[in-house]
């Protein structure tokens, strides 16, 4: 641009005193023409040439015609006028063809003509005779301008060729990087061209499609889908997408074909294999709606299905039943044999339920769909069953019985055979609820009532169960408050020697001083504490309080041979149980050999090594262990040998029938004899009559406990008994 502008001053240099010669004017005209040509060419390259090139050319022609006419070249002006008309025709053709070479020609010619026109005006303005310049300046200027335009055209063409080559290279790289099959297909369905990556397998090779109609290569239905997509893309002049499924080597593959119009009679089809994407979507769907362990529908899927069944039941005015199933003792199996065994058991239960459902043995409407949503696993060992078209409770109860019978069949896990039972709660639509949440809640309530009734049974929901559940929740809340407000207290019941009534120990028994209900016995709240897990903090409180009371008696000079404290399975299962017991012993300063922990028989079924090790560590510290309510659970000599047990406490259920009940008498005698042979001590609980005392003395039961000797006493009253050291027996020792 600087060159073009500066060249305008060349004819007038070096100043007004200088009159230009013919040669100077000619050279100045040529230089000025070239400068303006360069100026115009550079300006046009920086703009949208296709949009402004035509206007520039027409303006340049008009300018040049006027200049030549003014210079006296009327014949030349006429020729240029004809050239202007031809240029208009070329411009019209350019609009319809979009030929790049014509655009370049137009711009280059315009630049040359502008230069020639300026040359003519510069000559006219110089005052030099035109006829003298015509023979010299114009031909040279025109040749130089033509040479410059030709060089510029060559440079531009080479630059555009290089850009076009780079663009084609980039497009080719992008196309080959895409894992897609690209086809060019005409309106009749003939494949005109293709691009197929080598690493991707498609339903057909692109070479097999080339020159053929898609209808002849693709299966009938698939070909119809593709042809319809092609027609829609051409008619609407818009992108279309179709999806097809084709079997390849025995497995179903899924494809997406995106069809884009290309002109008025061709389309570009991009085919992508979306099989992996479909599989991943199915996995995500199964994770969202199905349980990964059992393959059964999960809670979300179950609730959606339950809502649909409820809508159908309302529409058809039929009944429906919801069964809530929970495995009995699953936690014990899971803790005893490990989580892998528990998982195996859950899978077996799910398989049995599904097999039976497919057989149509349980439902009144056997024509079920294949979604398998009638059974579901809500979590843990809880399962639900939806029974559509159930109009009577008797039918639902029959189904529950059959399910329980099915699950009672032994399950072989590894080398161990396990028998599992279940508790089932039943809620009916519409009697027990008309929405999913209410039905599920009531079925769950009935299931818990079934467990309370001894497990391995089913129960129908009743309104009274909701009242019981509400009461249970209220008790749980009160227990939490009682722990915070220190409302619990200890009573103590003495244990005596059967031969002379000497006090050989006391058992700590918890009581609850309820602010509204007064003194509450453990039977009212221990079961709720066990279910809620509150038994752990309660048990720790009892142990701490018993040790503190033992220390107070010792400081007061009262001899206490031993204090027995009950320990629950949950409490013993805590990872820090050993540390907590040891910390309480140290904090209270009691002698460890004055403490006895009473365990339940269910604990003996747990072979967990760390639990056994913890008990032996406590025994090494001096702590004694006894088995409470012996004979009512999983009594086994092999389990007794594995634990550091020193005392067996015969359950009071065997004592109540003495001496009249022969079975109770035989069991009691056998336990005493077995304990003696194993070197274990024995305490008979629940002794209430002189006849029971006489029998126990006769079979040489060493220690006794019960209301016959003393009711549970508060600490201050128990201190009086301990100071005395002996309780008078109501009957003379008949064993002597």
Q: How far is CA 85 from CA 28, 88, 92, in A?
A: 31, 5, 11
Domains of the chain: 2-172 (no CATH), 178-279 (3.30.450.20), 293-461 (3.30.70.270), 474-724 (3.20.20.450)
pLDDT of residue 74: 55
Cβ-in-10-Å burial (0-12, 13-18, 19+) of 135 comes to: exposed
Q: Which residues contact 712 (CB under 8 A, 6 or more apart)?
A: 491, 492, 493, 509, 511
pLDDT of residue 117: 52
- Report whether 90 contacts 96 (CB < 8 A): no
- Report whether 625 contacts 597 (CB < 8 A): yes
- Report whether 386 contacts 374 (CB < 8 A): yes
Residue 185: how many other CB atoms lie within 10 Å: 24
Distance CA 463, CA 403 (A): 25
Which structure tokens are listed for 408? 């009672």
pLDDT of residue 200: 53
pLDDT of residue 221: 83
pLDDT of residue 145: 56
Q: What is the DSSP string of 257-322?
A: EEEEEETTTEEEEEEEE-HHHHHHHHHHHHHHHB-TTT-SB-HHHHHHHHHHHHHHHHHHT--EEE
SS3 462: coil
Distance CA 512, CA 490 (A): 9
Please choose, from the candidates 258, 279, 263, 261, the residue with its C-alpha nearest in 3D space to the C-alpha of residue 178.
Answer: 258
Distance CA 403, CA 130 (A): 120
Please choose, from the candidates 298, 458, 300, 451, the residue with its C-alpha nearest in 3D space to the C-alpha of residue 394.
Answer: 458
Torsion 372-376-380-382 (CA) sign:
negative
Helix or strand holding residue 519 (H, E) = strand 518-520
pLDDT of residue 380: 86
pLDDT of residue 699: 94
Q: How far is C-alpha 728 from the chain's CA centre?
A: 69
Residues of the chain below pLDDT 70: 1-150, 152-153, 171-172, 174-177, 197-206, 356-373, 602-612, 631-639, 731-736
Pinpoint the alpha helices (H) of 408-534: 436-452, 463-485, 526-532
Which structure tokens are listed for 5? 């502008």
Please choose, from the candidates 565, 567, 546, 554, the residue with its C-alpha nearest in 3D space to the C-alpha of residue 490.
Answer: 546
Q: Which residues contact 533 (CB under 8 A, 6 or more apart)?
A: 570
Distance CA 79, CA 101 (A): 24
Distance CA 442, CA 182 (A): 60
SS3 432: coil
Rg (CA), the chain: 51
Instruction: Report cis status (omega within 30 of 0) of the bond before 14.
Output: yes
pLDDT of residue 395: 84
Torsion 630-632-634-636 (CA) sign:
positive
pLDDT of residue 50: 41
pLDDT of residue 510: 96
Three-state SS across 380-417? CCEEEEEEECCCCHHHHHHHHHHHHHHHCCCEEECCEE
SS3 327: strand
Pinpoint the alpha helices (H) of 192-237: 206-209, 214-217, 220-236
pLDDT of residue 365: 36
């Amino acid at each position: 641009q600087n060159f073009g502008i500066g060249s305008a001053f060349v004819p007038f240099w070096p100043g007004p005193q200088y009159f230009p010669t013919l040669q100077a004017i000619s050279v100045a005209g040529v230089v000025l023409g070239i400068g303006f040509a360069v100026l115009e060419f550079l300006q046009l390259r920086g703009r949208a040439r296709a949009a402004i090139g035509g206007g520039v050319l027409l303006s340049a022609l008009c300018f040049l015609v006027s200049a030549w006419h003014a210079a006296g070249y009327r014949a030349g002006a006429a020729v240029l006028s004809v050239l202007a008309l031809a240029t208009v025709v070329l411009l019209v053709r350019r609009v319809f063809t979009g030929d790049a070479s014509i655009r370049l020609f137009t711009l280059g010619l315009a630049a040359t003509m502008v230069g020639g026109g300026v040359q003519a005006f510069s000559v006219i303005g110089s005052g030099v005779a035109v006829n003298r310049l015509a023979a010299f300046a114009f031909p040279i200027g025109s040749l130089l301008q033509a040479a410059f335009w030709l060089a510029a055209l060559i440079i531009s063409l080479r630059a555009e060729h290089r850009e076009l080559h780079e663009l084609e290279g980039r497009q080719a790289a992008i196309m080959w990087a895409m894992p897609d099959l690209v086809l060019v297909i005409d309106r009749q369905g003939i494949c005109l061209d293709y691009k197929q990556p080598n690493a991707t397998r498609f339903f057909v090779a692109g070479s097999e499609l080339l020159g053929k109609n898609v209808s002849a290569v693709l299966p009938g239905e698939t070909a119809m889908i593709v042809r319809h997509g092609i027609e829609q893309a051409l008619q609407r002049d818009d992108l279309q997408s179709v999806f097809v499924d084709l079997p390849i080597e025995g497995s179903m593959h899924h494809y997406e074909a995106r069809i884009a119009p290309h002109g008025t009679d061709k389309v570009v089809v991009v085919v992508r294999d979306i099989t992996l994407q479909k599989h991943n979507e199915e996995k995500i769907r199964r994770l969202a709606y199905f349980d990964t362990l059992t393959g059964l529908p999960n809670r979300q899927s179950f609730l959606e299905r339950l809502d649909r069944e409820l809508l159908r039941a309302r529409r058809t005015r039929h009944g429906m039943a919801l069964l809530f199933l929970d495995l009995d003792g699953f936690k014990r199996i899971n803790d005893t044999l490990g989580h892998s065994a528990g998982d195996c058991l859950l899978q077996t239960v799910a398989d049995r339920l599904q097999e039976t459902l497919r057989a149509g043995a349980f439902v009144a409407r056997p024509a079920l769909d294949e979604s398998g949503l009638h059974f579901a696993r809500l979590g843990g060992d809880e399962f639900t069953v939806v029974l559509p078209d159930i109009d009577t409770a008797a039918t639902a109860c029959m189904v529950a019985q059959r399910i329980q019978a099915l699950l009672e069949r032994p399950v072989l896990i590894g080398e161990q055979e396990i028998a599992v039972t279940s508790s089932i709660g039943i809620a009916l639509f519409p009697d027990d609820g008309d929405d999913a949440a209410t039905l599920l809640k009531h079925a769950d309530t009935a299931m818990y009532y079934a467990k309370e009734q001894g497990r391995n049974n089913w129960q129908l929901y009743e309104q009274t169960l909701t009242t019981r559940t509400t009461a249970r929740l209220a008790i749980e809340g009160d227990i939490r408050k009682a722990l915070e407000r220190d409302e619990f207290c200890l009573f103590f019941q003495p244990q005596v020697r059967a031969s002379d009534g000497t006090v050989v120990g006391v058992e700590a028994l918890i009581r609850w001083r309820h602010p509204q209900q007064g003194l509450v016995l453990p039977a009212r709240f221990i079961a709720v504490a066990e279910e809620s897990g509150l038994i752990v903090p309660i048990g720790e409180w009892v142990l701490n309080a018993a040790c503190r009371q033992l220390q107070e008696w010792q400081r007061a000079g009262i001899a206490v041979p031993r204090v027995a404290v009950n320990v629950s399975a949950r409490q013993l299962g805590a990872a820090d149980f050993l540390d907590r017991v040891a910390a309480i012993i140290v904090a209270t300063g009691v002698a460890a050999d004055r403490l006895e922990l009473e365990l339940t028989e269910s604990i003996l079924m747990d072979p967990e090594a760390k639990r056994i090790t913890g008990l032996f560590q406590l025994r090494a510290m001096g702590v004694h262990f006894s088995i409470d309510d012996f004979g009512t659970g999983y009594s086994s000599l092999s389990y007794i040998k594995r634990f550091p047990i020193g005392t067996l406490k015969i359950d009071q259920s065997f004592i109540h029938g003495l001496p009249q009940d022969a079975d109770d008498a035989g069991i009691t005698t056998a336990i005493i004899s077995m304990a003696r042979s194993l070197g274990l001590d024995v305490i008979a609980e629940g002794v209430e009559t002189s006849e029971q005392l006489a029998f126990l003395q006769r079979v040489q039961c060493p220690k006794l406990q019960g209301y016959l000797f003393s009711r549970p006493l508060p600490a201050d009253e128990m201190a009086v008994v301990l100071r005395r050291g002996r309780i008078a027996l109501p009957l003379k020792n008949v064993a002597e």
